[in-house]
Amino acid sequence: MEPYSQIDISQWTQVGEGGNGKTYVNQSRPGVILKVNKGHLSTYDAVMHEYEVSKGVESLGLSVPRMHEIARVGDAYATISQLIKNKKSLSRICHDEPGRTEEMARLLCEKGKELFATPCDTDFFPSRKVQALWAIDHATFVCKKKRKVIRSFAEAIPEDTHCVHGDFQPGNLIQADGSHYWIDLDRFAYGDPMFDIGHLYLVCQVYSSMKRVQDIFHMTIDQFHAFWDAFAKAYTGKEDHEEFDRQAGRFACIDVIVRTRFVPPSFMEKLFFWLLCTKALQEILLTLLLASVTTWAQNTFSGYGTGASYNPYLVSSVEHLIQLVNDVNNGNSYEGKYFELTAVPSPAMWNRVLMFTIARWLKP
């Protein structure tokens, strides 16, 4: 007989939804919350991993909602854990009180530093560096030349036996009555804190251009950018954090590949890295950016020109290209408009555009 109770979901009330699943409460079971993950995250192995990791993180003295049991919801597995009353994620606070966005970024920095200073159980939790090297070696959709460069960078990362969250971002730290709790711990590991910071950079500077991500986090792209700026200043103690941004960007690239350690790469991810390795990247990328356009009410562009065939928009800077990425990514388009590339983009310029383009295809 299976030891897990079967839950009748019709008797539970949905109270939340995130990128990984939905949460429910039941008046007859006060003090607990039911979490039902989506897709492959609702399998027995995935849910048991989440359960055991949560227990393991709690044993380190970190504040997390207490895990109670595993249950069944139809064919899916789910978890029942401690209900944190009056809770709000930092991202939700940013949405409800936009003026506190920078305050929440500094709070995530403070709690993050506490997390990064916590010694990890290296017998139970995995090394993020080892995971990264494994993911790079198995990322056959990345050409050998690029894999070699990325692996060389990863090999040079110093090993660190302190904790990293794995999905470090403002939606995964919740606040309730003055207390704070880490949630969504399935990628918890030990390693250099820049692994986590690189992921935050990816969320705030790349994924933030996706409307779906803005909806999940309840934050605007401007809030994401302000959040990162405040976080970086608090973490480094400096107003100028350009070098910190560069290093975070390097780890963000590692994070994109490490993601495939947990989720098989999609066709579009494979296509992206294939394009990254081709000589025809510039022409193909422009085609991708400007293809399949239909309608857009404003049809405005910051570059020179009117968009007419006899006076095309002049694309002459990385800002122009990034604007196109964001416009198309957000459902806008330039029907009947014409563009002319007026300068040969430098490698650095294309790298910046690629980081923004990645948001069209990859999920956080």
pLDDT of res. 332 = 59
pLDDT of res. 294 = 28
pLDDT of res. 35 = 94
Angle at 261 between CA 259 and CA 264, to 5 degrees: 80
pLDDT tier at 205, thresholds 50, 70, 90? confident
Mean per-residue pLDDT for 241-262?
86
pLDDT of residue 212 exceeding 90, the answer is: no
Span of 136-150, 242-256, 316-330 with lowest mean pLDDT:
316-330
pLDDT of residue 251 exceeding 70, the answer is: yes
The span from the CA of 197 to the CA of 188, in Å, is 14
Per-residue pLDDT tens for 86-108?
Answer: 999 999 999 999 999 999 999 99
Distances (CA, A) of 188 to 7, 58, 92, 194: 28, 12, 23, 14
The span from the CA of 136 to the CA of 179, in Å, is 38
For the whole model, what pTM was predicted? 0.74
Residue 235 contacts residue 109 (beta carbons within 8 Å): yes
pLDDT tier at 202, thresholds 50, 70, 90? confident
At residue 158, the 3 state secondary structure works out as: coil
Per-residue pLDDT tens for 31-76?
Answer: 999 999 988 889 999 999 999 999 999 999 999 999 999 999 999 9
The span from the CA of 258 to the CA of 265, in Å, is 10
The span from the CA of 76 to the CA of 324, in Å, is 41
Round the average pLDDT of the chain to a whole number and report it.
Answer: 81
The span from the CA of 153 to the CA of 86, in Å, is 43
Residue showing tokens 């909806």: 215
The span from the CA of 51 to the CA of 316, in Å, is 51
The span from the CA of 264 to the CA of 262, in Å, is 7
Which structural domains are found in the chain, ordered by start? 9-82 (3.30.200.20), 88-265 (3.90.1200.10), 278-349 (no CATH)
| Residue of 361, 347, 289 whose CA lies nearest to 149 | 347
Residue showing tokens 């711990």: 185
Q: What percent of the chain has pLDDT over 90?
A: 52
Residues 156-175 as b/e (b if ≥16 CB within 10 A, e otherwise) read: ebeebeebbbbbbbbbbbbb
